[in-house]
A and B are shown apart, each in its own frame.
Chain A
Amino acid sequence: DTAVSQTPKYLVTQMGNDKSIKCEQNLGHDTMYWYKQDSKKFLKIMFSYNNKELIINETVPNRFSPKSPDKAHLNLHINSLELGDSAVYFCASSPSGSSTDTQYFGPGTRLTVL
């Protein structure tokens, strides 16, 4: 029973392509997040959604567009991929979106842009 799952686990693609990463949680949580972890291991929040509503939108290029069809799913679409987009992308969820909630992470998607 995977609590937070992501697909795909690995994604290798060429510069300029468009790709999507999917995330699902079965914890019944209201809030979901996308984080980017670069090669130096920095974990930086990109977006959060609470019950399908965008809450956090950090200074991320508008080539990145999150979509939440329902509160159990949060997808990330990336247009016109660049070399600097190579990273591990983690989805996470938390019960209510409060900053004092524990966040539960998915297994990550390693994106490599060639």
Chain B
Amino acid sequence: GENVEQHPSTLSVQEGDSAVIKCTYSDSASNYFPWYKQELGKRPQLIIDIRSNVGEKKDQRIAVTLNKTAKHFSLHITETQPEDSAVYFCAASYSSASKIIFGSGTRLSIRP
């Protein structure tokens, strides 16, 4: 069935270090994979997305990689800063149902 698994559920890294969040999806037809950042008390906001015709996409300190064969995709944040502290959600498209399915979220904390 429709499922997106996300790990870890919580992640604490030292400021300046890198953070990696991983997701797997179940529908082999999924072709769109957005990542959302949700700060405390705020709305989820898109930070980066990747489509199935590319394997990697980068935007300044954030990058996303996609392995369609293994049905894995990951978010990489380098040189982490205090403002990176938030809950991050991965998602995958389900074209047969015109929707995206969200992962369970990762709470990222940046230690000063």
Tell which of B16-24, B59-67, B97-105 binds the partner.
B97-105
Q: State how many angstroms separate the Cβ of A4 from the closest Cβ of chain B.
A: 8
One digit per residue, 1 when the CB lies within 8 angstroms of any chain A CB and 0 when it does not, for chain B 17-51 equals 00000000000000110101010001111100101
Minimum C-beta distance from B100 to chain A (A):
6
Of chain B, the residue at the smallest CB distance from A43 is: B102
Interface residues on A, range: 20 to 34
Range for the number of chain B residues in contact with chain A = 20 to 34
Whether B100 contacts A103 by the Cβ 8 Å rule is: yes
- Neighbouring A residues of B42 by C-beta, 8 Å: 107-108
Q: Which of A6-41 contact B (CB under 8 A)?
A: 40-41
A78 within 8 A of B: no
Which residues of chain B have a CB within 8 Å of any CB of chain A? Answer: 31-32, 34, 36, 38, 42-46, 49, 51, 87, 89, 93-95, 97-102, 104-105, 107
